[in-house]
A = this chain, B = another copy of it.
C-alpha cells in the first residue's frame, strides 16, 4: 500500500466488515508483539469503535455494550480505551471527546484528522512531512516537540459531491 493512499474513511464504497476484521487481526498481532493482553473486553471495545463510521464517545460504547446484555460501568470502558490508545490501536479526537480506530496500528505516529462538519466522519492522514515541519518551526523557538495532534475541520469528498448535486 502506498504511503499516503487515500484514507478508507474518504472512500465512498468499501467492505467495512473487512476493515473491522483486518483491524482486529492487526490489533491482536500488535498486542502479541508488545506482550500486551488483548482481552475479550478490549477486543470488543475496539470492534465497536471500528463498527462506527463516525468517532464514538465512551458513553456511546457503553450504550452498545448495554444493549447486548453486558452492563459495564464507565471505568471499564475508559480503561479499555486507555489501553487501546496507549497501544496505538485507537486515537482520541479531543475536540469531539470521541475515539476512532487507527488505520496504521503498530508503528508510532502523529496523525492529522480530517473531520467533516457535515457528516461527522473522520479520516486519518499520516503525513510525516507536516510533523517534521512543525517540529522544525517549534525548534526554532527552542521548543522540543514530542507529539503532535492536528485536527482539520472541513467538508469530506462525499459531502462535497452531495452538496454539488443538490444545488
Contact = CB atoms under 8 A, between A and B. Distances in A.
A152 B132 CA distance: 12
A130 interface: yes
Contacts of A144: 154-155, 160
Contacts of A147: 152-154
Contacts of A117: 146
A125 interface: yes
B160 A137 contact: no
Interface residues of chain A: helix, strand, loop or mixed (majority): mixed
Number of copies: 2
A95 B141 CA distance: 22
Contact of A149 (B151, B157, B160): B151
Interface of A: 4, 6-7, 10, 94-95, 112, 114, 116-117, 123, 125, 127, 129-130, 133-135, 137-138, 140-157, 160
Given A144-B154, A149-B151, 17 more contacts: A4-B137, A94-B151, A95-B149, A112-B138, A114-B141, A114-B143, A117-B146, A125-B137, A130-B130, A130-B133, A133-B133, A134-B150, A135-B152, A138-B152, A143-B157, A149-B150, A150-B151
12 contacts: A94-B151, A117-B146, A123-B141, A127-B134, A133-B133, A142-B157, A142-B160, A143-B156, A145-B154, A146-B153, A149-B152, A150-B151
